[in-house]
Amino acid sequence: MKFKDKIVLITGGAAGIGKATALRFSEEGAQVVICDLNETVGQETISLLGEKASFYSVNVASREDVQQWVDTVVEKLGRIDVLVNNAGVLRDGQLVKFKEGQLIGQLTEFDFDLVVSINLKGVFNCTQAVVPVMIKQGGGVILNASSIVGLDGNFGQTNYVATKSGVIGMTKVWARELGKYGIRVNAVAPGFTATDMITAMPEKVLEGMRSHTPRGRLGEPRDIANAYAFLASDDASFITGETLRVDGGIVVGT
């Protein structure tokens, strides 16, 4: 029960890696608070986490939504020990697509802005709202969702890669700024993980992912959740500013 009586906030906690992370922390005794935009799935997840768990509908791209969420949690529970910035979206597209010398498509400004607003600004919004609470209580842990593509790049993911690389940069900055307040900040960079979004892809694509992973399989959401649980625990008390790859040894190609 490493997190007994600890208050853990998880964004995008209704499904996938977020859900697995919520379950993992709950197993270790934490009081889990998740937010997501999908209220139906969020309530289903809460039903698995015990009577103390709670769900809020929050758009992490909205500073007003985030601040209201954090204020409500602090008013009800008194503190925030761990924040897991997990919420994220994909809107893939090549920078430009040419065929027979003609421009036939490109990544849209809308899709670029949407991914940045959630994956990057959302992490900024949630962290900036939670940190003053952690400073006043004498410490805490911030964990950010990056990706292996944030380290290695990936074809057709200009917007997503920009956000996941940005998260790594912010993690390093915040580790330096907040260490003196007893706050540790780390990131996790998952490889190809068997969430609903990934497993819905064609089998040929999935086989390609597995064949590029030395461990010979996709990651499971719990693999990532275990990494978050480790980094949030006292076992990682001297680790900050780092990005932990949880990817089965994959090398991302073009």
Report residue 197 as tokens.
Answer: 């979004």
Which of 6, 150, 156, 138 is closest to 84 using CA atoms? Answer: 6
Helices (DSSP H) in 78-120: which residue ranges? 109-115
Tokens matching residue 121: 């600004």
User: Between vectors from CA 166 to CA 161 and to CA 170, what angle results, nearest 5°?
Assistant: 155
Q: In sequence order, which residues have a C-beta less than 8 Å from that of residue 172 and are 6 or more positions away?
A: 241
Distance CA 141, CA 190 (A): 19
How would you list the strands of the sheet with 54-57, edge to edge? 54-57, 31-36, 7-11, 82-85, 140-145, 183-190, 243-246
Tokens 């932990």 found at = 244
- Asked if 69 contacts 76 with a C-beta cutoff of 8 angstroms, the reply is no
Cβ(151)–Cβ(139) below 8 Å: no
Question: How many Å apart are CA 52 and CA 70, to the nearest integer?
Answer: 17
Q: Which residues contact 47 (CB under 8 A, 6 or more apart)?
A: none
Residues noted as catalytic: 160
